[in-house]
Structure 1
């Protein structure tokens, strides 16, 4: 792997403000064009991947431990669902708005301020004494999560050459998958071995390390548009919701709808079927995603979405069908590998396709809407899957999730 150091900016040509300046304002900038070279692994791209990894680990360690913390505060099972949903909903609400700010105010200020807000809300877990206060904190934490992840993904797309968009987003997502692979287990280990205060301190430390790393990144300036093209750019930007974002984001919602049910109910399903070591499902799922993402990204760059997305959707469908009849650990892990293959192929391809179909002046909004659909799919999927389980059982839940992929197939055929 060849690492290329980014050239130092000349005064007044970097998006980074001068010392003592307002971080939300940017100086006039000469365009930093990642497409001037086809190299992917620049210093700045490595750093944004690293900061994203640290942020996602700090988030993932809360996934399995938050219900335990709610229980310690005296909350009910329904309170767990409300508190988890509050985080997701607040992120959904803020992403499109933050995406527009990223486009109009620059990446650097939004990202660094968002990381500081994320750090502050993580530290605030130390002072939680009631379920209600925790609910309020989760809303604020979700706002900061939406800001940080929207800005980071937009920065990553700025740093990836267009001709390697799929490959680059695949590698960027790989760092997220690594966090998903061991973050939850790390969180449980810290709580079991030490305590919740140690968990909160560790999470805050990870976010601070992410901020310290992000400060060193040289942020590309948003691409300038000649004055005579302003009206055309405005029309393109206004159409980002219909042309570049809504269809692919809707497909992403269908995909993450299936994940919502798996994350929320697979442990209970395994318990009902008497399948031991169900946690290995998520390990195999994450490892498979890590393995498939770079390959799928390169295939997207060569062939576009015509292979990665339909093949990935087929793999997801087969996984859900297998889960509906699973009664052994071997079958469960086979389903996990199929699901990881499908998700690892579809998700980065959809994100790269969203950016490809959107005007360059609206990358932030496109990323914001895409990730809002991701969060919304998880939230709706977990809620509706619970209703199906209560009425018809786990097999029906998995088959219902499989049918939710049908609209994704239809949308793909209409827009490919």
Structure 2
């Protein structure tokens, strides 16, 4: 990590504090991934009610992503990060204090605000504190907290549930969240303010928030992320049922672990390479990996085929999200970065939210294998959209998507 030698003490301090806060946040959040459904069932929830409570997470995520993006730009990135860590610490205490399905749904929707806030504030702060020429590399390194948290959280949550019960589990999740809040409170925003002094704009001249989405610099990434969100939501919702339907001797958790390892490996290298060769070629590569992964899943009949698909999907996801964050950072000024990030990543959120009820409505007709065959088509559409619509013309888009032309929408 030679890039660390080029950073100022203030940059090192703020990025280190952010990384610790991020690791605590994701570990807190994911301790409940394998355990909360069982808790809902144990307090009397039916299978349908378990789905309703878990799905309520998307309500808070979708309703507040845009507003938090605006708050990030107009008030404070740090405040938005602190909101995210406060919510992720408070929600587990809410679960512990209620046992009715409507109240559990309310707390689950509240919990969804945590990701909307934290990911928006975290990503924009990382960019604010990163030298522009090293932006992709640092985004890649700082995004490692996601797969590490996804590896630690579920294992810790499962162990606590079995060994000491739900009360200690929820208290531990809350403690991790509040520790994340403590570290987030130590972040400063000097880098953001210094840049804003140079590029301050009259608010009357800034584009209206939702009209930004119609801009070609944002529209295509948001559409691509929406399609990938549908694919990812299909995978996370229906993979365990698909494995069970096929009668394959594979713990679905092993698929997710393999995927997380592949994601981690890609994030170490991909950011630095994108600073040199551009974002386009790596986004194309990530979407191609998603196509391959969904094809392998749609045709899989053995555990090894599922695990190979996990490697492809993990590598694709570990490349796509950091590269899209870097791309949106390249295409925005500091004063609008939070809103642009919220709009583009909001496409991914919406895709995930719609995958269960939308794609799942075809399950009776197509079967689970048919859903993954549909996923191949969705991934292909995302790839085609990016190759043909990522720049000002099809020819320019193709050259950008294959690393042969710079991004015409990048802010100079």
Range class of TM-score, shorter chain: 0.7 to 0.9
Q: Corresponding residue for 1:310?
A: 284
Mapped partners of 1:228, 1:175: distance in 2: 32
Of Structure 1 and Structure 2, the greater helix share is in: 2
Write the mapping of 1:90-101 to structure 2, written as runs, cut at 5 A. Answer: 90-101=60-71
Q: Relative to 1, partners in 2 of residues 1:228 and 1:198: Cα closer, same or farther, differing over 3 Å?
A: closer
Q: Corresponding residue for 1:29?
A: none
Q: Corresponding residue for 2:79?
A: 109
- Is 1:175 paired with 2:165? no
Provide the secondary structure at the position in 1 that maps to 2:371.
Answer: helix
Q: Corresponding residue for 1:363?
A: 337
Q: 2:240 pairs with 264, 267, 281, which one? A: 267
Instruction: Confirm or deny: 8 A CA contact 1:65 1:187 kept in the other structure.
Output: yes
Mapped partners of 2:199, 2:62: distance in 1: 34
- Is 1:224 paired with 2:196? yes
Mapped partners of 1:343, 1:228: distance in 2: 35
Instruction: Confirm or deny: 8 A CA contact 2:209 2:339 kept in the other structure.
Output: no
Deviation at 1:262, TM superposition (A): 1.3
Q: Corresponding residue for 1:240?
A: 212
Q: Relative to 1, partners in 2 of residues 1:312 and 1:211: Cα closer, same or farther, differing over 3 Å?
A: same
Mapped partners of 1:181, 1:115: distance in 2: 19
Provide the secondary structure at the position in 1 that maps to 2:144.
Answer: helix
Instruction: Confirm or deny: 8 A CA contact 1:243 1:358 kept in the other structure.
Output: no
Instruction: Confirm or deny: 8 A CA contact 1:121 1:137 kept in the other structure.
Output: yes
Mapped partners of 1:246, 1:318: distance in 2: 25
Q: Corresponding residue for 2:326?
A: 352
Deviation at 1:43, TM superposition (A): 2.0
Following superposition, which runs of at least 4 residues in structure 1 exceed 6 angstroms of deviation?
none
Mapped partners of 1:205, 1:6: distance in 2: 31
- Is 1:48 paired with 2:18? yes
Deviation at 1:256, TM superposition (A): 2.1
Deviation at 1:328, TM superposition (A): 0.9
Mapped partners of 2:285, 2:118: distance in 1: 31
Q: 5+ residue gaps in structure 2?
A: 391-396, 398-412
Q: Relative to 1, partners in 2 of residues 1:165 and 1:239: Cα closer, same or farther, differing over 3 Å?
A: farther
Q: 1:252 pairs with 208, 225, 246, which one? A: 225
Deviation at 1:248, TM superposition (A): 0.8
1:226-283 deviation per Cα after TM superposition (whole angstroms, max 9, x unaligned): 6995379624978632244332122112112111111111112112222223321111
Q: Relative to 1, partners in 2 of residues 1:306 and 1:318: Cα closer, same or farther, differing over 3 Å?
A: same
Q: Corresponding residue for 1:13?
A: none
1:151-192 deviation per Cα after TM superposition (whole angstroms, max 9, x unaligned): 122211211221122222211221101111232232122112
Instruction: Confirm or deny: 8 A CA contact 1:169 1:352 kept in the other structure.
Output: yes
Instruction: Using structure 2 for the length normalisation, give the TM-score.
Output: 0.87
Write the mapping of 1:79-228 to structure 2, written as runs, cut at 5 A. Answer: 79-220=49-190, 221-222=192-193, 223-225=195-197
Mapped partners of 2:133, 2:107: distance in 1: 41
How big is the alpha-carbon RMSD for the aligned residues of Structure 1 and Structure 2?
2.3
Q: 5+ residue gaps in structure 1?
A: 9-33, 35-41
Q: Relative to 1, partners in 2 of residues 1:7 and 1:70: Cα closer, same or farther, differing over 3 Å?
A: same
Q: Relative to 1, partners in 2 of residues 1:236 and 1:375: Cα closer, same or farther, differing over 3 Å?
A: closer
Q: Relative to 1, partners in 2 of residues 1:295 and 1:151: Cα closer, same or farther, differing over 3 Å?
A: same
Q: 2:47 pairs with 38, 62, 77, which one? A: 77
Mapped partners of 2:138, 2:234: distance in 1: 29
Instruction: Confirm or deny: 8 A CA contact 1:244 1:355 kept in the other structure.
Output: no
Instruction: Confirm or deny: 8 A CA contact 1:177 1:286 kept in the other structure.
Output: yes
Provide the secondary structure at the position in 2 that maps to 1:276.
Answer: coil
Deviation at 1:410, TM superposition (A): 3.0
Provide the secondary structure at the position in 1 that maps to 2:202.
Answer: helix
Mapped partners of 2:209, 2:42: distance in 1: 48
Mapped partners of 1:349, 1:149: distance in 2: 15
Q: Relative to 1, partners in 2 of residues 1:190 and 1:231: Cα closer, same or farther, differing over 3 Å?
A: closer
Instruction: Confirm or deny: 8 A CA contact 1:99 1:364 kept in the other structure.
Output: yes
* Alignment: residue pair count: 384
Q: Relative to 1, partners in 2 of residues 1:231 and 1:372: Cα closer, same or farther, differing over 3 Å?
A: closer
Mapped partners of 1:161, 1:6: distance in 2: 10
Instruction: Using structure 1 for the length normalisation, give the TM-score.
Output: 0.86
